[in-house]
Amino acid sequence: MKKENDFFNDVYDVVRQIPAGRATSYGAIAAYLGQKRGARMVGWAMGNSYNKQGVPAHRVVNSQGILSARHLFGTPTAMQERLESEGVNVKNDKIQNWKERFWDPEKELH
């Protein structure tokens, strides 16, 4: 169990570094952490974090920029509202201008 907790904490450390107004994907976090096929595990970690203080979980979406975890927030629109409060345009549960909003931890973190 310790190893899983370490991975979850590594995921949260990456998520805390996503700047406001940007977002990343489960797969990008997994790749950065050396788990190229670990997007689902990142999703599992994120599923435990939506109410954690200091983890901006609303900035993590699927690989197409879709707010796939929106149902885990307090209300159906809470995830979108948090992103929009940071200047991210969301339409039909998808981040607009996804390529420009995408934050790649492989490129941004050293």
What's the one-letter identity of residue 27?
Answer: G
Domain locations in the chain as residue ranges: 2-108
**φ/ψ (deg, to 5) at 17:** -95, -5
SS3 12: helix
Residue 72: its pLDDT value, please? 86
Q: What is the pLDDT along the chain (110 residues), one digit of tens a residue?
A: 456 579 999 999 999 999 999 999 999 999 999 999 999 999 999 887 766 778 999 999 999 999 999 988 889 899 999 999 999 999 999 999 999 999 999 999 86
Contacts of 110 (CB under 8 A, 6+ apart): none
SS3 41: helix
For residues 109 and 51, what is the distance between their CA atoms, to the nearest angstrom?
Answer: 25
> For 2-108, CATH number?
1.10.10.10
For residues 77 and 85, what is the distance between their CA atoms, to the nearest angstrom?
Answer: 12
- pTM of the full predicted structure? 0.91
CA dihedral 98, 103, 107, 110 (to 10 degrees): 180
